[in-house]
A and B are shown apart, each in its own frame.
Chain A
Amino acid sequence: MTVKYEKAVAIEKESVIVDGVDISGPWNRMFEQRVIFEYTPERIEEIASIPGAESFAYCYQCAKCVPVCPVDVVGNYGPRKLYRYVQTGMDLSQAPELWLCTTCANCLRVCPKEVNMVHIMPAVREQAILDGKFVPPELQQAFENTAKFGNPLGQPQRKRDAWVSKAGVPVPIIKDVGRPVAVLWYVGSYPSYHPRGMDAACAAARIFNALGIDFAILGKEEKDDGDSQRLAGEKGLFEALAEYNIATFNKYEWDEMVVTGPHELNAFKKVYPQYGFRRPVVHYTTFLVRYLDRLKPLLKYPVNKKVTFHDPCYLGRHDGEYEAPRRLLEAIPGLELVEMGRNRENGYCCGGGGGGMWLDSFTTNHTTMRLSEKRVMEAAATGADVLAVCCPFEVSRFEDAVKSTGNDHLLVRDILELLDASMRGSP
């Protein structure tokens, strides 16, 4: 057998002819060079020299990270493997692998050497972007939308508080309130613009009203927190947003900020302090649990459903909050809470973090299924009727995955929606 390569490409040959037959095609990666002819420790050093990415060089190949890596579950990934790929020639800055990590932090949880992908990946991505390397177009689009419109969905700023009219209850805008408020509610981009996110926002508004909470939102002054863009490598964009947001937050008097999303929580609680913003910020689940005594009598209508709960990576592993969402769910009469195999500290990532929210098509080309699809299958396997979430990224992701995996019987609901349903007796 004679094999003739034309136009040699390292991984995939554009054209391969075997015994005179053209067998070119995407599967021809079987012709990938098998023998390792060179080790490239200098590439590890290159990555480790980027501030924030130092720990990439620490990996001693124990492989504890690989089985808990959500991307490896549906593909071939994990810090240990990345280290070896780089050590054997991969230029991570130009490899698809650069964009697959969701910064879910499950690898870091088990890593004996504290190889910190949550710091490494954003640092390497930032460098790649600065160097003008390839950026997946859909991610680029989200960056541009954020820069232009203040939100990754590309929706106009003036419509940011349009959802308020659907809430059926007063939603004060802080600018109009003209006095200090107890709670500044940072709504977030997806609850402000995405139809299913708005449902959760309206539910939250009704709950806050029913509890008599003195709150207000920023309305048209609110812009995206930018944290996922930062994790995807756009630190410049993040810093511009942080500067704007901090100035806006500081314009008004308020005691505590409540956020709808765990990514915003991470931004304001963990990252904005580096830019001078140091104020109390809580996720809505942590906030509402404080009002359980007042909330319980309001939950008049049973929700007779079997419910399983998906821990958001940025609420659970990143912030250590596992109990509040479960206590809220358990407060709902009639509701039966069942757990998936991977929960709490070992919760499986939905795929939306670290920029994954805007990389679904790209990621699909490098995995056997979407992370959200894998998670929906796990949820369905519990026999649950409802997959409960409390991160605004998740509703749309899981609802798509419910359809694509043929699990249409599984309803995806934000905890806010379930509480609201129990308050009002509507599904």
Chain B
Amino acid sequence: MSSPKILVIGGGPAGLEAARSAAELGGEVILLEKRDRLGGAPDREGYAKLTHHWRDASEVIGNLVNAVVSNPHIQVKCQAEVKKASGSAGNFTIEVESNEITETIHAGAVIIATGFQHFDPGRATQYYNYYSFPDVITLTDLEKMLKDHHVVRPSNGQPPKRIAFIQCVGSRDRQLGNEYCSKVCCGVASKQAVELREQLPDSKVMIFYIDMRMYGYWENEIYWVAQEKYKVNYVKGVISEVLKKGDQLLIRGEDTTMGRPMEVTMDMVVLSVGMEPSAGTRTMAQLFGIKQNKYGFIEAGGENGIDPVATSVPGIFVVGAAAGPADLDDAISSAGLAAARAVALTRRMRV
């Protein structure tokens, strides 16, 4: 007597944790990943430190990956993409293409962990000039530099002395269609600001914001540390435009608590880009016929509206940032819940 398998789609933190938890609960898991390696966005984008206790991202994600690949009840397929899906709870049939070979997988439950992608700053309505000025970069660009301990201005290879973060790029914006808060950028920007001050102690680091959304322990673990210990300067009033001034950048905005306009030169400007549904998330929603919200994320909530992993199709669960902006601990906790739900479902379907 054996239960149907559980299919996890996406090998980022949420997918890894869902696979590991489901296997630990006694499920047989198949984990699909489009890239040639596991790890998801933290691996792909080369995250340096995590906002969680300043832990090294490669180490933490590496631990997640090791727990999955060493588990005999998880079958990992990389470079694998779902092409077709049909069936219902307990009995899904999924066509997967891997290395030009198509195979059919039968699964009792499906967990979608296809995550997010960063907002493309070229779409911003403000005049930030990401694609025109080399020294205007994003959080992800800076993250890579921090990981390499080589933070320099792309224009001249010199370490920047004056760095500004601009918050809410691509988030909380009706015109862009992203009305939601991306939830993590305030914490990530502050974390990077601390790392900048560690790596470039002579630099001036300023964060321009609409509101700082440092929920829970981020307040004392990141925000207060950045301000009090690392003297990162926060200014309320987001920047409206980035212009060129000589070989520097001129940022213009309103300093709202002073009620005065500001025009300050910077060596480097970091755009705190938010989250959007990844292409994979959109595709999976369509293939499985799951309801998406108006932003393209997979709609979660279930019957009572408070189930963070239930989708509109019974037997299909969503975890992590595929359901909307999520931090790592959101991803991990939703993954554990989905694993429990999926194992329970497949147990009922024993054949």
Tell me, yes or no, whether A35 is within 8 Å of chain B by CB: yes
Chain B residues, Cβ within 8 Å of A84: 257-258
Chain B residues, Cβ within 8 Å of A42: 204
Known: A57-B227, A84-B258, A88-B258. A37 touches B263 (CB 8 A): yes
Flag if A58 contacts B258 (CB, 8 Å).
Answer: no
* Residue in chain A with minimal CB distance to B234: A60
Flag if A44 contacts B258 (CB, 8 Å).
Answer: no
* Residue in chain B with minimal CB distance to A42: B204
CA of A44 to CA of B230, assembled, Å: 12
Tell me, yes or no, whether B69 is within 8 Å of chain A by CB: no
Chain A residues, Cβ within 8 Å of B206: 39, 41
Q: Which of the residues B223, B224, B228, B260 comes within 8 Å of A36, measured between beta carbons?
A: B260
Nearest first, the 4 closest Cβ-Cβ pairs linking A and B are: A36-B262, A41-B233, A35-B261, A58-B228
Known: A39-B204, A41-B204, A60-B234. A34 touches B257 (CB 8 A): no
Further pairs besides A35-B261, A39-B204, A39-B262: 11, Cβ < 8 Å: A34-B260, A36-B255, A36-B258, A36-B264, A37-B264, A41-B233, A57-B228, A60-B223, A61-B257, A80-B257, A113-B224
CA of A223 to CA of B41, assembled, Å: 70
Interface residues of B in 229-244 (CB under 8 A from A): 231, 233-236
Flag if B264 contacts A39 (CB, 8 Å).
Answer: yes
Tell me, yes or no, whether A343 is within 8 Å of chain B by CB: no
Known: A57-B227, A57-B231, A60-B227. A88 touches B263 (CB 8 A): no
CA of A37 to CA of B260, assembled, Å: 10
Tell me, yes or no, whether A346 is within 8 Å of chain B by CB: no
Tell me, yes or no, whether A176 is within 8 Å of chain B by CB: no
Flag if B231 contacts A38 (CB, 8 Å).
Answer: no
Q: Which of the residues A34, A48, A63 comes within 8 Å of B261, measured between beta carbons?
A: A34
Flag if B233 contacts A39 (CB, 8 Å).
Answer: yes
* Chain A nearest Cβ from B193, distance in angstroms: 11
Chain A residues, Cβ within 8 Å of B260: 34-36, 88
Known: A36-B260, A36-B262, A41-B233. A58 touches B227 (CB 8 A): yes
16 contacts between A and B (CB under 8 A): A35-B263, A36-B258, A36-B261, A36-B262, A38-B264, A39-B233, A39-B264, A41-B206, A41-B233, A44-B231, A45-B231, A57-B227, A60-B223, A60-B224, A61-B234, A80-B257
Q: Mark B137-149, 1 if CB is under 8 A from A, else 0.
A: 0000000000000
CA of A115 to CA of B255, assembled, Å: 22
* Residue in chain A with minimal CB distance to B232: A41
CA of A80 to CA of B258, assembled, Å: 11
Q: Of residues A41, A63, A113, which shows the largest number of chain B Cβ atoms within 10 Å of its Cβ?
A: A41
Tell me, yes or no, whether A87 is within 8 Å of chain B by CB: yes
Chain A residues, Cβ within 8 Å of B223: 60
CA of A407 to CA of B291, assembled, Å: 73
Chain B residues, Cβ within 8 Å of A48: 231
CA of A12 to CA of B224, assembled, Å: 36
* Chain B nearest Cβ from A98, distance in angstroms: 19
CA of A189 to CA of B236, assembled, Å: 47
* Chain A nearest Cβ from B19, distance in angstroms: 41
Interface residues of A in 1-53 (CB under 8 A from B): 34-39, 41-42, 44-45, 48
Interface residues of B in 243-294 (CB under 8 A from A): 255, 257-258, 260-264
CA of A87 to CA of B231, assembled, Å: 11
Q: Mark A179-221, 1 if CB is under 8 A from B, else 0.
A: 0000000000000000000000000000000000000000000
* Chain A nearest Cβ from B342, distance in angstroms: 43
* Residue in chain A with minimal CB distance to B253: A36
* Residue in chain A with minimal CB distance to B219: A60
Q: Mark B204-224, 1 if CB is under 8 A from A, else 0.
A: 101000001000000000011
Chain A residues, Cβ within 8 Å of B212: 60
CA of A351 to CA of B262, assembled, Å: 35
Flag if A35 contacts B231 (CB, 8 Å).
Answer: no
Chain B residues, Cβ within 8 Å of A38: 264
Flag if A41 contacts B231 (CB, 8 Å).
Answer: yes
CA of A61 to CA of B227, assembled, Å: 12
* Chain B nearest Cβ from A329, distance in angstroms: 42
* Residue in chain B with minimal CB distance to A55: B228
Interface residues of A in 79-98 (CB under 8 A from B): 80, 84, 87-88
* Residue in chain B with minimal CB distance to A87: B233
Q: Which of the residues B224, B228, B235, B262 comes within 8 Å of A35, measured between beta carbons?
A: B262
Interface residues of A in 211-240 (CB under 8 A from B): none
* Chain A nearest Cβ from B254, distance in angstroms: 9
* Chain A nearest Cβ from B165, distance in angstroms: 13
Q: Which of the residues A34, A44, A63, A113 comes within 8 Å of B233, measured between beta carbons?
A: A44
* Chain B nearest Cβ from A292, distance in angstroms: 46
* Residue in chain A with minimal CB distance to B164: A39
Chain A residues, Cβ within 8 Å of B261: 34-36
Interface residues of A in 307-354 (CB under 8 A from B): none
* Residue in chain B with minimal CB distance to A54: B228
* Residue in chain B with minimal CB distance to A88: B258
Chain A residues, Cβ within 8 Å of B255: 36, 88
Chain A residues, Cβ within 8 Å of B264: 36-39
Flag if B227 contacts A39 (CB, 8 Å).
Answer: no
CA of A80 to CA of B257, assembled, Å: 10
